[in-house]
């Protein structure tokens, strides 16, 4: 498991927290921000984007990763998820999406009053991967 320094954790969580000001949440009023730390040390943010047709909305984690990928970055160390509304962790779709880029990516989120850090493989132990496609 890759361990993040206290400074990296603070910086990443602060970036996720700051990004929520751009969340597009006209229906739920539930802002979520995410910040991805790349292997190059860059932090790329994303926010949730709602749509009147609810399934068409996009989670902050996938927006952050999509922003990074669109800039040519595909190697990630960690992703922080934040909402001022309280406890939050990546949804199932986001867990699968994150796992595409490596089982050791550290996930930071608040749960039961504490900051949690664990690799994505612990949040989604039986993820679907290219191994199943090549079976």
User: Beta strand 106-111 with 76-82: parallel, antiparallel or unpaired?
Assistant: parallel
Q: Which residue in the list 7, 50, 61, 100 is annotated as catalytic? A: 61
- Look-up of token digits 């927290």: 17
Distance, in Å, from the CA atom of 3 to the CA atom of 18, rounded to the nearest integer, reads 23
50 noted as active-site residue: no
Contact between 18 and 33 (Cβ < 8 Å): yes
Task: Please count the CA atoms within 13 angstroms of the CA of 103 that sit on its side-chain side.
Answer: 9
Could you give the residue numbers annotated as active site? 61
């Amino acid at each position: 498991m890759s361990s993040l320094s206290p400074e990296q954790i603070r910086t990443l969580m602060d970036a996720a927290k700051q990004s929520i000001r751009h969340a597009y949440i006209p229906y739920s009023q539930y802002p979520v921000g995410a910040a991805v730390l790349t292997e190059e040390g860059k932090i790329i943010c994303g926010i949730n984007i709602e749509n009147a047709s609810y399934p068409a909305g996009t989670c902050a984690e996938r927006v952050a990763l999509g922003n990074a990928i669109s800039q040519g970055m595909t190697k990630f160390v960690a992703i922080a998820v934040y909402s001022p509304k309280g406890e939050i962790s990546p949804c199932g779709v986001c867990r699968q999406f994150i796992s595409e880029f490596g089982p050791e990516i550290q996930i930071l989120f608040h749960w039961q009053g504490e900051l949690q850090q664990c690799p994505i493989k612990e949040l989604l132990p039986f993820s679907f991967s290219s191994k199943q496609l090549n079976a």
